[in-house]
Amino acid sequence: MALVYHADRRIAAMVLAKLKDDGGVAPAAQLADGFYQRLRKEVLPRDLDFLHMFGRRPIGTKGPCVENDMPLEHELIEIALQRLKRNGFVAEDAYFSAEATHQLAQEVGYRDFHFLYYLGLYAEHEIGAGVLELLKQKGIIASSAAYSSEAFERLRQEVKAHFEIPDTAMSPVMERLLYLLSSVKQPRRTIGIGIFCGNTLVWNAGASCNGGKVYEAENVYGIDIDAQAICLAKQNFGRLTDVDHVEFIAEDGRLAADRLAGPFDYIYLDADSEVNGKGIYLELLQRLYPKLSPGGWVVAHDTTLPAFRHQLDDYLHFVRDRRNFTESICLDVDIFGLELSIK
């Protein structure tokens, strides 16, 4: 079975070699060709669903839960593989290596889930540079576009020192990626919805704030339905300087999207609705779409996490439709992923 990582094969190969040195993946593990849009189908569901079938209770079911490290019958594995292939979750050539010294969790799960984790850990700078290069190749940003890694590191130190963050899904590489994107786009007016304690908004707005500041922005709106989360976000941003243009609003993002006047040139989506989970992204975007300037960017978090994939199908379909957006790119830099769509 092969690894698929498409963002930058050079970086992926470097990380793979390191994992082989550490004994983390089988010596025979390889990188396979793939496309961004295929990644979600090809890699993450493949391994997580596989593990769920054997080692974990599938999300939302009450069936018996087999212990994670229970030895697995080869025959059962083959049956599951066939089923996954039929469902289109697994590449046709996927196979399980019975010779592997590790258990299935390491042999299959480690390879992709942990691969993405280690990718961010070992290659944060390279991934940043790789994404910049990709955006240049696609003509989305100027060939001279750059971001300041020093300004980003200053901001990171400040956030580390001053922010109270109860919990977060932000990985270090995602922090850098969000900072980098807003740095090169330099939006005048940004709206972020589902910003929780401000820990995600700070990377989206960081290029116009405090130690990370590289340009002047007009407005940044940070919206969350949870008033306590907004209170904490205000406290957190209150410990930074140059944040007068950042306004926090405790409100349902759908109402705020209807009420606030456009235009916006940068939209950050991270809400997780109690009713339809990440399905709310499409509702939010459809309300904001007429207010998004031509050439404006929409950045959506969590778009490759298997747990959300069905909730996000309609959203991804909408943004990948060329009638709605000129380009939409899956930035598979960690297990959560980011979809960047350009109007």
Ligand X SMILES: C[S@@+](CC[C@H](N)C(=O)[O-])C[C@H]1O[C@@H](n2cnc3c(N)ncnc32)[C@H](O)[C@@H]1O
Backbone angles phi, psi at 45, to 5 degrees: -60, -35
* 158 scored as a contact of ligand X (CB under 6 A): no
The yes or no reply on residue 229 touching ligand X (CB under 6 A) is yes
- Point out which span in 43-51, 80-88, 150-158, 248-256 binds ligand X (CB under 6 A): 248-256
Distance in Å, CB of 255 to ligand X, minimum: 8
Question: Site for ligand X (CB under 6 A): which residue of 42, 158, 175, 270?
Answer: 270
Q: Supply the DSSP symbol for 262.
A: -
Count of CB atoms situated within 10 Å of the CB of 185: 24
> What is each CA distance from 333 to 114, 118, 141, 216, in whole angstroms?
12, 10, 19, 28
170 forms part of the interface with ligand X (CB under 6 A)? yes
Task: Count other Cβ atoms within 10 Å, centred on residue 310.
Answer: 11
Starting at the earlier edge strand, list the strands of the sheet with 246-250: 246-250, 219-224, 189-193, 264-269, 292-301, 338-342, 327-331
249 part of the interface to ligand X, by CB under 6 A: no
Stretch that binds ligand X, among 104-112, 128-136, 250-258, 310-318 (CB under 6 A): 250-258
Give min distance, CB of 48 to ligand X, in A: 19
Could you tell me which of 150, 228, 222, 221 has the C-alpha nearest to residue 183?
150
- Is residue 110 within 8 A of residue 104, CB to CB? The reply is no
273 binds ligand X, rule: CB under 6 A: yes
Nearer to ligand X, 42 or 304 (CB): 304
Residues 187-206 interacting with ligand X (rule: CB under 6 A): 193-194, 196, 199-200
Give the footprint of ligand X on this chain (CB under 6 A).
168-170, 193-194, 196, 199-200, 223-226, 229, 252-254, 270-273, 280, 301
